[in-house]
Structure 1
Amino acid sequence: MVRLNHRAQQQTATETTQEAFLHQHVAEFIRARGSDTLTLLDLILTKNELEVSDIEYKAPVGASDHCVLVIKMAVDTRLYHKGDYVRSKAMLSDVDWNELMDKSVEEIWKANYMECNKKQTQMDDSESTEQNKTERSSLDKIPPEENQSKVQSLLQSKEESTRAVREAVCQFEKTLAEEVKEKPRAFFAYARSKTRIKESVSRIKQPDGTLTTSTQEACELLNKEFQKVFTKETNTPIPRTLHEFEGEELSRCEFTVDDTRKLLEGLRENSAPGPDGVHPKVLKECASKLAFPLWLLFRKTLTDRRIPEDW
């Protein structure tokens, strides 16, 4: 493993943060003890600068020398798998997308982006949660000695519920196994959740034939192997190609609204949203209504040879 001094580590961390387009929000020193130099150790990194609206620096707790950070964040709590997409598609049908035909690329993108954000709906299960609490509290008040028949009925219902849960789990696991090619992340995430023994880095054979004896040696050996695949860039000019391209120039790229719809329907709904924050579940469920405006946007970027500023 490459060892870096403090200044090199600081520069590497800064460059990595900038290359990943992350925002660092902690602006004050948060660690101090006695005459030690004030340091900033705890960082808050986000993709969007607006995700953190305020940070309060509180006094340390107990014997700790780190300040307590109270963070106000804008967290997306929308339940996309419970969204009312029938209503969303009905609302998208009311939008007159033909008005965008003569608009610029930027105007078409803003219209698409605003409509997609509006349709990222959520379903509140607070009512069902309160109902479950009420049912549990009422069941706790039933005295077994006064109403034995109700107790027997409850026990029978419990057995039926347990059986139904087991069948649901079996069906869920069967579905995961059948869709492992389409949804590998969901399958392996579930498999990892059932694993009790976590595998660590095993002993690795070194070039001299011996085996590593510690995790540190294994990490250093893996680091050297990974470094071999990287090309060391130089400051010399990029060499010109010997032969110019002699094929036909790609002046037209034809695709239809139906092609766009098929691509939207093929999105993985369990994937994370992109930089625009639009969840793939929304795009997939509303594919039939979003295909035309997105097709219009993509076609406009090709004809005008421009892309939106957000891209």
Structure 2
Amino acid sequence: MWCEIRLKDGDKLLLGCIYRSPNSSMGNNQQLNQLINKACTRQNSHLLIVGDFNFPEVDWQSWTCNAGDSHPGWAFLDCLQDNFLYQMVEFCTRFRHGQKPSRLDLILTNDEAMICDVTDSSPLGKSDHVVIHFELICYKDFSSEEFVGRYKYDKGDYKKLNEDLSSVQWEEELTPYSVDVAWNVFTNLLGTAMERNIPKTKPPRASKEGKKWKPLWMSNEAMKKVKKKYHAWKRYSNTRQYQDFVNYKRARNAASKEVRFAKKSFEKKLAADIKKNPKSFWKYVRSKTKTKTGIHDLEKEDGSFAHTDEDKAEILNKFFASVFTDEDTTDVPDPEVKVIGRYSRTLAFQRKIF
């Protein structure tokens, strides 16, 4: 089950809920991995997948599978790593008397900062699975306004803008009105001139379906080896031959090694060039922090919520004004003058002279 939610600035959050039976066939396991791959190719800025995946053999501390090399848990781990997903549950989620506790229920996301405060509570009813609680940090767009671009001031025609503003008869336009009305007239005239002479940014285009997002550190060589590993796995899943599985393991190890090398090399070069090219550093930081932090919606006195920045500022202003202490400035005591060290000796000498 999937649900897509629109966020601010053209971003989108894709929510998915999955249940994998412990008796799943090889075909079902392949379909699960294909479904996750498809969800990641939708090019959503935020991705959240939750559910019961029934992989007790997977060790999430080391991201390995405590089973044979042909176990579907290995392919599942490869699928998550290929799509650069994180697993956020750090405790066992299923408890049954006489059996070892296991971690079957997972929270998968493409942004660690999007999930916080992951806790558990007692199971519902007769279930042997705990209830998982967590907070999802996102920035839902509650406004229904159309996209309003920002001015590209470096591309403006200021000579033509100056000519347009100079041709306005300002006294005739502003004198007949009060200050408030005159201000509105002025801003409208200025805004019209700016619209004519300063271009704006265009609304974000929808991403192409099937085009997978690639990290900034991903090199061409690493991408080739990741694709080679993917094709090796496809071949083995079709033939089930031992030699094809050996080839897959070699491709998997080579891809993991190359990915680690590419990321380490990129970050090392980024750190060495940070003084010469700080923009690249901050671009990398922004790519790692998809979640935007800010002030959450605030509750008003009537029980409704403030969504806009103006409403939030007004609520905070009223609160701070209510707790502010208005001191009496008409009766301020004189501070006691204290001088130490050589300055005290100088002060005593001056008093002695005068």
Q: TM-score, normalised by structure 2?
A: 0.27
Q: Which has the higher strand share?
A: 2
**Larger Cα-atom Rg:** 2
In the superposition, the TM-score normalised over structure 1's length comes to 0.30
Query: Which of the pair has the greater relative contact order for Cα pairs under 8 Å at 6+ separation?
Result: 1
